[in-house]
Amino acid sequence: MTSDDPRPPPRRSFFGALGPNELKGLFWQVLVVGVAVAVIVFLWSNTVTNLSARRITTGFAFLGREAGMPIADSLLAYNPRDSYLWAFVVGVANTLRVAVIGIVLATILGTLIGISRLSANWLLSRLAAVYVEVLRDIPLLLQLLFWYVLMQALPAARAAWRPVEGVFLSNRGLILPAIPIGSPQLLVLGTAVLGCIAFLVIQRSLVAQQMRDGKPRPAWPFGLGLIVALPSAVSLLLGVSWTIEWPQLRGFNFVGGLALAPEYFALLIALVTYTSAFIAEIVRSGIQSVPRGQWDAASALGLRRSFMLRQIILPQALRVIVPPMTSQYLNLTKNSSLAVAIGYQDVVSIANTTLNQTGQAIEAIALIMAVFLTISLGISFFMNWFNARIALAER
């Protein structure tokens, strides 16, 4: 927040010299705030009269009532007799399910395409450029409808495509083989996560020691022990089974495995491809922002290519990449609300149904806004922390 004034004004006592400038400032502020308050009061009083005329009670009491709406595709257990509050929670889980997986996939795909655009292979870089240009210049909603139509045009379950054994693509969506996850499996995975955290702590201390005496200390044995061996040992001791469940065609539908509904799959494809085009541009300009001399200097030191990329080029490129990447992640999350157009029930779609059933427009829209503001703040917070970590540390 820079002001137009080059120097901070000297502190004055409150009733001290209120000069003409301060008075002018005070007048403008009072005017603007007055207008804003007047507009809000006007809208508010209209709303109150309208609501009482329509006999709609304000407040969030309706959240305790039975929702009665079906939700076809959800991560969490839900049935129509549950409350509106639980329906909202299911909707938030569905939004996050698209957003989180979408962000991961879009980052991977976007990075690959961004790197392809810089390839020395003319054909590859042209193809990547065409991909980016076409996807960026067509509305996301149109792409989403297009993917959804293609999904519906796929053959029926009996004639499903099988690109790989155990994977079925049909108008029922995408069916993948999966490992059923229960509490014993979660325990093993939890051990692995704890192992990862412990490994990171150990690695940092090893690097710190190396900084002090210059002796390299390899960290990989710790990694192998904590992330691979320890969870495996826990798994063997408890006798946890890791059988893969293969989907089977029974009658007109599939049994077993992991099923991605066509709505979810279409939304995911649309979000990932669309966002990856923007991410590709960010990655490309980030890598191009690293001065040529850095490549030359690294080559002159005789460093291996992979080492050079990992230790010299990418850390510098990341400084340029991370801030715009944050806004792409936020865009992807906000764009997941287009789900309402194809009937995937994310939080916006569920809020919209609630609004139509109860007439609680203000509350439903306030809830949508609260959910998205929370998610946005969460993503911003994480990315800002990451950005601070990789920022240029100048002396």
Partner 1 sequence: MTAITDMPDLPRAARRPQIGNPVLRWLRANLFSSIPNGILTVVLLAVLAKGVFGFLQWGVANAVWLTPANDSSACKAVRGLGACWAIIPEKYRFILFGTYPFDEQWRPALSVALFIALFLLSTRRALWRRELAFLWVGALALISVLMWGGVFGLSFVSQDRWGGLPVTLILATFGLAFGFPLGILVALGRRSKLPAIRSLSVLYVELIRGVPLVSLLFMASVMFPLFMPAGFNIDKLLRAQIAIILFAGAYLAEVIRGGLQAVPRGQYEAADALGLSYWRKQRLVVLPQAIRHVIPPLVNTFIAFFKDTSLVLIIGIFDLLTTAKTAIIDPAWQQFSVEVYIFVAAIYFVFCFAMSRYSRSLEATSAR
Footprint of partner 1 (CB under 8 A): 1-6, 25, 28-29, 32-33, 36, 43, 46-47, 49-51, 53, 115-116, 118-124, 127, 133-134, 136-143, 145-146, 149-150, 153, 287, 292, 295-296, 299, 305, 309, 313, 334-335, 337-338, 340-341, 348, 352, 355, 361-362, 365, 368-369, 372-373, 376-377
Comparing CB distances to partner 1, the nearer of 124 and 240 is 124
Comparing CB distances to partner 1, the nearer of 29 and 248 is 29
Judged by DSSP in three states, 360 sits in coil
- C-beta of 170: minimal distance to partner 1 in Å? 16
Closest CA to 249 of 162, 181, 191: 162
Comparing CB distances to partner 1, the nearer of 74 and 358 is 358
Comparing CB distances to partner 1, the nearer of 66 and 133 is 133
One-letter-per-residue 3-state SS of 318-351: HHHHHHHHHHHHHHHHHHHHHHHHCCCCCHHHHH
- C-beta of 185: minimal distance to partner 1 in Å? 34
Give residue 153's identity as a one-letter amino acid code: A
Comparing CB distances to partner 1, the nearer of 227 and 298 is 298
Burial bucket for residue 243 (CB in 10 Å: 0-12, 13-18, 19+): exposed
Comparing CB distances to partner 1, the nearer of 90 and 338 is 338
Comparing CB distances to partner 1, the nearer of 63 and 283 is 283
Closest CA to 309 of 298, 319, 323: 298
- C-beta of 208: minimal distance to partner 1 in Å? 31
- C-beta of 143: minimal distance to partner 1 in Å? 8
Length of the chain: 395
Burial bucket for residue 288 (CB in 10 Å: 0-12, 13-18, 19+): middle
Closest CA to 125 of 138, 136, 113: 113
Handedness of CA 283, 288, 292, 294 (dihedral sign): negative
Residue 244 is classified by DSSP as P
